[in-house]
């Protein structure tokens, strides 16, 4: 009953007080206890000592004051509940045992009966009893007793909230007797307490609030004046206990002081200040020194001496930590406050000026970049130096003098590694982006989007069981990622976000202030531009540099590569079946299977990233999964990498559509924030497999590839017309490293990228031809005999044979070729963006401006023949296998 009623009442009070101003709360307390008039009357003590007042009224007031002080002690001091203080459940049990044994040694049965039980009717005593007590073996009485260990006595709290009045008296008497036996002071100071959890950290400010200082000062003044019935020794004892709690709190703050933190708990300074006019009452410190020598307070002298001793220790601690002296005159304090305000104002103006300079420099840098792009032949000797500058925008500046720029394949352009140095907007520290450094992150916002949807009526009925591996071409709902482009250290962002959460959770509910963001859903405003965000994207160096090599000599063609990868997949399936079933049959199959040369399915690659970066990879991946599927976070779910790849693909598709609708060129007109977002998002998606389950990624790749190259394990797959090919391309390319990392045959990762791209492109061509409108008109005969038209017509007729004449016969290839070029352009544009950000190859000038022959320039950049049907002619060996799908 106590756990369910009394304890939870205290927690409820602590929760409410943590969201209130301490002075406001104490004023409410004075009002509820009907004590406001007493503490607002300057001569209350003198009046009640001289007037013939009813003693019952005075005694009632004293009792109310004692109860109010006891309640404050509980609110500030009871922090041993997990979630309130930074403690564990075992710490809570230890404390209960310590206070029960502080009363007297107890037998096992007595102690168990005195301890609270959990929901399983267990106390948990057995797991911790040996840490706090020693067992005294039974003597003549036949009862063994647990006795409190001497070193645990310092954790005794006279006002432990589970004590009854009788238990408190017995415990106090027992502890004082023990101290006298050990020839120690009989003071029972409050113990050092664990820190509050961040949400409740503001509770300690009650001790140094103006109203609390007034209450304590008033009671001490009554004791100094020795005004008869106006105060009680129990009341004074509680005030001394509160003073001790405040001093312990300040001492802990100073001992845990770090360079990044500023001590805001300055209780010693406040009790050193005298009262203000017209009363001009002495300071609390001065009154304590007076009471130290008062003959009528002999029983409290040890406690007062302990308080003064602790005060002096804190004073020395402050001086040693180069903080301001404790005792200052009022004039000096006001002067210091004025100087602090001036300093803060100067700092604010300097910050505004710095931000203005940075904005101007960013504009100048952007203008320089455009000028260099337009006049690149004049700057060939200085480009490499410019590329090492701190501006991220320079990464897109062409540093290659080759006439032809190619994003992938045997002719992929070699790109010099760029040193990327960025600045944190929170701490202003510069840092180079490296795999082994602390994580740097971009503020980002993830959201479900239907902007490209062709079927808005489709909904996911059961997100927990939904498989997002294959995106339907109607793009009914995607996951879009945007960013304002502002960079922070991961730990700086975490500290900022924790502060935002704490601030919002402490906000007074009665104000009913509606913010523009939802902290409970992880939303926050960018610290610099206040753009809405709900996660962060880690900044990474180009991921393909870590795993790729550009030596394409002796690389297999598409047919050979498909055969090799199919064998690797078959080996992985057999190995997985063997692990699951542990049967000899599969072992025999594995022995019979000829593994491709250099393939080691048992090899586990080492993650190249630092712990900080790995944590941020997991954080952003989990956020994408949570928002995209509208489910609870679960970083172990195998669908997490799928959602990351899908967000990368969908974001690229939306930006490509925006540029197309606004008739802007594919490259050259992206704002810096979108350029930074796509760079970081693509690199993240390419690196996420390193923090995921290797077997899960391999399973995804095998299933994805089976949609193009059938295998015996994956039979129930969507029709080729029900797959969005760009999503398929991104997922295949980004999951392939999980297979390639176990391949030591010398085949380049870039070779896999090229063959996967060609496979998906061929599948997309089949998609377009199967769904093309074939109306003919008189214009068909103008260039009816061009090479492309003849080839596409031949391919179309072959498809007609494979589909059993389900397609309409066409006599001319003009319409087919026109439809094919128009239908595949969005795919090629998206692919160009994807491989540009994946491999870092600059875009050729021809596709940075609007102009003719965009199709040919894109094909050249992507290692495609201008006549796309040549892909089928060059790979006729596997054509029938591909057409089966």
pLDDT one-digit tens code per residue, 102-153: 998 888 888 888 887 766 567 778 888 888 888 887 765 567 788 888 888 8
Measured between alpha carbons, how far is residue 709 from residues 558, 575, 652, 712, 762 in Å? 12, 20, 26, 10, 12
Cα–Cα distances (Å) from 151 to 97, 116, 154, 383, in that order, read 14, 24, 7, 69
**First-to-final CA distance of the chain:** 68
pLDDT tens profile 765-788: 989 988 876 555 544 444 456 788
**For residues 433 and 420, is the Cβ–Cβ distance under 8 A?**
yes
Residue 333 φ then ψ, to 5° = -65, -45
C-alpha–C-alpha distance, residues 178 and 184, integer Å: 9
Tokens of 816: 């087919």
Tell me the per-residue pLDDT of 584-600, one tens digit each, with 9 for 90 and over.
444 555 555 567 778 88
Identify the residue with better confidence: 782 or 197. Answer: 197
Interior angle at CA 533, CA 527 and CA 535, nearest 5 = 105
Whole-number Å distance between alpha carbons of 428 and 443: 16
* Cβ atoms of residues 94 and 151 within 8 Å: no
DSSP-H helix ranges across 375-469: 383-387
Q: What is the pLDDT of residues 788-805, one digit of tens each?
A: 888 888 888 888 877 776
Residue 440: DSSP 8-state? E
Tell me what pLDDT residue 49 has: 53
Q: How confident is residue 276, by pLDDT bands cut at 50, 70 and 90? A: low
Which pLDDT tens digit goes with each residue over 698-707?
Answer: 999 999 999 9
Please tell me which residue, 315 or 390, carries the higher pLDDT value. Answer: 315
pLDDT for the residue 307: 94
Residue 616: partners with Cβ closer than 8 Å, 6 or more residues away: 439, 441, 490, 536, 538
Question: Which residue blocks in 266-329 are alpha helix, DSSP H?
Answer: 267-271, 284-291, 301-320
Would you say 620 and 538 are in contact if contact means Cβ atoms under 8 Å apart?
yes
Rounded Cα distance, 669 and 370, in Å = 10
Q: Read off the pLDDT of residues 138-193 as tens digits, 9 standing for 90 and up.
A: 765 567 788 888 888 889 999 998 888 888 889 999 999 988 888 888 899 999 99
- Give the pLDDT band of residue 398 (cuts 50, 70, 90): very low
- Grade residue 656 by pLDDT with cuts at 50, 70 and 90: very high
For the chain, give percent helix, strand, coil, nearest 5: 55, 5, 35
SS3 383: helix
Distance CA 846, CA 666 (A): 10
State how far the Cα of 565 lies from the Cα of 753, in Å rounded to an integer. 13
The interaxial angle of helices 814-839 and 749-771, nearest 10 deg, is 150
Angstrom distance (rounded) from CA 536 to CA 526: 10
494: pLDDT strictly greater than 90: yes
- Classified as helix, coil or strand, 480 is strand
Identify which of 162, 304, 315, 328 has the alpha carbon closest to the alpha carbon of residue 250.
315
> What's the pLDDT tens digit per position in 64-78?
999 999 999 999 999
Distance (Å, whole) CA 814 – CA 296: 112
- Is the Cβ–Cβ distance between 301 and 181 less than 8 Å? no
Instruction: Look at the pTM and tell me if it is higher than 0.85.
Output: no
Q: What is the torsion angle, in degrees rounded to the nearest 10, for the CA atoms of residue 714, residue 715, residue 719 and residue 723? A: -20
539 by Cβ neighbours in 10 Å (0-12 / 13-18 / 19+) ranks as buried
Residue burial 635-674, b: 16+ Cβ < 10 Å; e: rest: eebbbbbbbbbbbbbbbbbbbbeebeeeeebbbbebebbb
pLDDT of residue 428: 87
Other Cβ atoms less than 10 A from the Cβ of 352: the count is 10
Spatial CA neighbour of 539 closest among 625, 645, 435 = 435
Instruction: Name the average pLDDT for the chain.
Output: 82
Radius of gyration of the chain (CA): 37
Write phi, then psi, for 200 (nearest 5 degrees): -110, 10
Write phi, then psi, for 204 (nearest 5 degrees).
-65, -20
Q: Which residue's entry shows tokens 């992507």?
A: 862
Q: Which residue stretches of 722-786 are H helix?
A: 725-735, 737-740, 749-771
- In the predicted model, is pLDDT for residue 85 greater than 70? yes
Contacts (Cβ under 8 Å, ≥6 apart) of 158: 168, 171, 172, 175, 188, 190, 241
Q: Give tens-digit pLDDT for 619-654.
A: 999 999 999 999 999 999 999 999 999 999 999 999
pLDDT tens track for 713-731: 776 888 888 999 999 999 9
pLDDT for residue 402 is more than 50: no
Tokens of 765: 């061509």
User: 359 φ, ψ to 5°?
Assistant: -65, -45
In the beta sheet, which residues pair with residue 82? 85
| Six-digit token string for 842 | 């600059």
Q: Which residue has the tokens 């400010």?
A: 205
Are 129 and 101 contacting, i.e. CB atoms less than 8 angstroms apart?
no
pLDDT band at 547 (very low <50, low <70, confident <90, very high): low
Tokens of 624: 């994408």
Q: What is the per-residue pLDDT for 511?
A: 44
């Amino acid at each position: 009953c106590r756990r369910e009623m009394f304890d939870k009442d205290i927690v409820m009070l602590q929760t409410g007080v943590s969201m209130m101003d301490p002075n406001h709360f104490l004023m409410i307390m004075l009002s509820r206890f009907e004590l406001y008039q007493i503490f607002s009357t300057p001569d209350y003590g003198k009046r009640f000592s001289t007037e013939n007042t009813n003693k019952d009224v005075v005694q009632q007031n004293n009792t109310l004051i004692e109860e109010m002080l006891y309640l404050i002690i509980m609110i500030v001091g009871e922090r041993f509940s997990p979630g309130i203080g930074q403690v564990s459940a075992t710490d809570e049990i230890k404390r209960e045992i310590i206070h029960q044994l502080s009363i007297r040694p107890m037998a096992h049965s007595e102690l168990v009966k005195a301890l609270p039980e959990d929901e399983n009717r267990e106390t948990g005593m057995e797991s911790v009893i040996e840490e706090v007590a020693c067992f005294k073996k039974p003597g003549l009485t036949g009862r063994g007793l647990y006795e409190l260990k001497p070193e645990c006595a310092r954790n005794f709290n006279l006002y432990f909230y589970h004590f009854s009045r009788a238990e408190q008296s017995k415990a106090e008497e027992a502890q004082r007797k023990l101290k006298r036996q050990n020839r120690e002071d009989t003071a029972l100071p409050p113990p050092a307490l664990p820190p509050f959890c961040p949400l409740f950290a503001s509770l300690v400010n009650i001790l140094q609030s103006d109203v609390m200082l007034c209450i304590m000062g008033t009671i001490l003044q009554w004791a100094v004046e020795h005004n008869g019935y106006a105060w009680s020794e129990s009341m004074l004892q509680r005030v001394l206990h509160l003073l001790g709690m405040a001093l312990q709190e300040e001492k802990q703050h100073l001992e845990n002081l770090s360079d990044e933190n500023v001590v805001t708990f300055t209780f010693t300074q406040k009790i050193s200040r005298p009262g203000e006019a017209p009363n001009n009452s002495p300071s609390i410190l001065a009154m304590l020194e007076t009471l130290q020598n008062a003959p009528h307070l002999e029983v409290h002298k040890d406690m007062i001496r302990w308080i003064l001793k602790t005060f002096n220790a804190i004073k020395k601690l402050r001086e040693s930590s180069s903080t301001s002296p404790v005792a200052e005159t009022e004039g000096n304090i006001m002067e210091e406050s004025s100087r602090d305000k001036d300093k803060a104002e100067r700092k604010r103006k300097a910050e505004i000026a710095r931000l203005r300079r940075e904005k101007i420099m960013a504009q100048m840098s952007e203008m320089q970049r455009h000028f260099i792009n337009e006049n690149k032949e004049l700057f060939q000797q200085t480009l490499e130096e410019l590329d090492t500058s701190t501006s991220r925008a320079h990464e897109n500046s062409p540093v290659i003098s080759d006439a032809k720029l190619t994003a992938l394949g045997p002719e992929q352009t070699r790109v010099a590694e760029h040193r990327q140095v960025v600045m944190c907007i929170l701490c202003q520290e510069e840092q180079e982006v490296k795999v082994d450094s602390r994580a740097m992150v971009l503020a980002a916002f993830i959201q479900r989007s239907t902007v490209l949807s062709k079927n808005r009526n489709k909904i996911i009925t059961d997100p927990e069981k939904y498989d997002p591996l294959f995106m339907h071409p109607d793009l009914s709902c995607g996951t879009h990622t945007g960013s304002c482009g502002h960079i922070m250290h991961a730990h700086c962002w975490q500290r900022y976000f924790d502060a935002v959460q704490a601030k919002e959770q402490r906000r007074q509910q009665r104000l009913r202030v509606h913010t523009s963001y939802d902290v409970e859903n992880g939303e926050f405003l960018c610290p610099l531009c206040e753009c809405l965000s709900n996660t962060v994207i880690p900044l990474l160096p180009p991921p393909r540099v870590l795993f790729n090599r550009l030596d394409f000599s002796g690389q297999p063609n598409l047919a050979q590569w498909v055969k090799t990868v199919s064998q690797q997949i078959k080996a992985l399936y057999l190995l997985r079946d063997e692990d699951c079933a542990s049967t000899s049959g599969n072992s025999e199959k594995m022995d019979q299977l000829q593994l491709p040369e250099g393939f080691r399915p048992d090899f586990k690659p080492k993650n190249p990233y630092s712990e900080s970066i790995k944590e941020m990879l997991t954080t952003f991946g989990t956020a994408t999964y949570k928002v995209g599927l509208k489910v609870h976070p679960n970083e172990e779910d195998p669908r997490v990498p799928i959602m990351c790849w899908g967000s990368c693909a969908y974001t690229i598709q939306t930006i490509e559509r925006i540029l197309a609708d606004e008739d802007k060129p594919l490259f050259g007109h992206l704002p810096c924030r979108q350029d930074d977002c796509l760079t970081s998002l693509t690199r993240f998606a390419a690196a996420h497999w390193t923090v995921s389950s290797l077997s899960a990624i391999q399973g995804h790749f095998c299933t994805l590839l089976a949609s193009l190259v059938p295998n015996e394990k994956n039979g129930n797959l969507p029709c080729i017309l029900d797959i969005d090919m760009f999503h398929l391309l991104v997922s295949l390319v980004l999951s392939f490293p999980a297979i390639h990392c176990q391949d030591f045959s010398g085949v380049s990762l870039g070779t896999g990228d090229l063959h996967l791209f060609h496979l998906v492109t061929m599948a997309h061509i089949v998609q377009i031809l199967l769904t093309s409108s074939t109306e003919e008109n008189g214009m068909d005969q103008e260039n009816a005999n061009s090479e492309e038209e003849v080839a596409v017509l031949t391919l179309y007729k072959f498809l007609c044979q494979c589909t059993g004449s389900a397609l309409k016969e066409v006599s001319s290839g003009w319409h087919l070729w026109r439809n094919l070029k128009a239908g595949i352009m969005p795919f090629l544009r998206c692919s160009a963006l994807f491989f540009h950000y994946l491999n870092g190859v600059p875009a050729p000038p021809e596709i940075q401006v609007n102009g003719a022959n965009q199709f040919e320039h894109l094909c050249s950049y992507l290692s495609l023949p201008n006549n796309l049907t040549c892909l089928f002619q060059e790979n006729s060996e596997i054509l029938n296998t591909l057409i089966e799908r």
